[in-house]
Amino acid sequence: MFWIIPIIFLILFEIVADIFAKEYSLKDHWYLWLGALLAYVIANMFWLWGIKSGSGLARGATIFSVVSAILAVIIGLYFYQEQTNKFQIAGMTLGVLSLILIFWE
């Protein structure tokens, strides 16, 4: 399970990049664009490390996608006052269920 460490860092840098990208969309400052780009590059370096460490493409990509999507929704809702509906909440619930099933042994 050593592969979980780079996947965690992948998710963290992806969220940082998403925040920079959202701020860039609101404020249009070049340094926010650059921050997003750099964070995405660093995130992908951790993705390569995670695959090399044994996460597997399918399992690693699913974990990354679901966790980063849930965190992005939380950040969007609470920090940027974005709206969600019942179907989107149901999708997030299914995403959490998928994580439980992936880690079930």
Q: Who wins on pLDDT, 55 or 102? A: 55
pTM assigned to the model: 0.86
**Digit-coded pLDDT (tens) for 33-88:** 999 999 999 999 999 999 999 999 999 999 999 899 889 989 999 999 999 889 98
Average pLDDT over residues 19-45: 98
Q: Which position has the token pair 């992948």? A: 10
Distance CA 82, CA 49 (A): 33
Contact 50, 6 (CB under 8 A): yes
Interval 4-18: pLDDT, tens? 999 999 999 999 999
Give, as one character, the DSSP assignment of residue 31: H
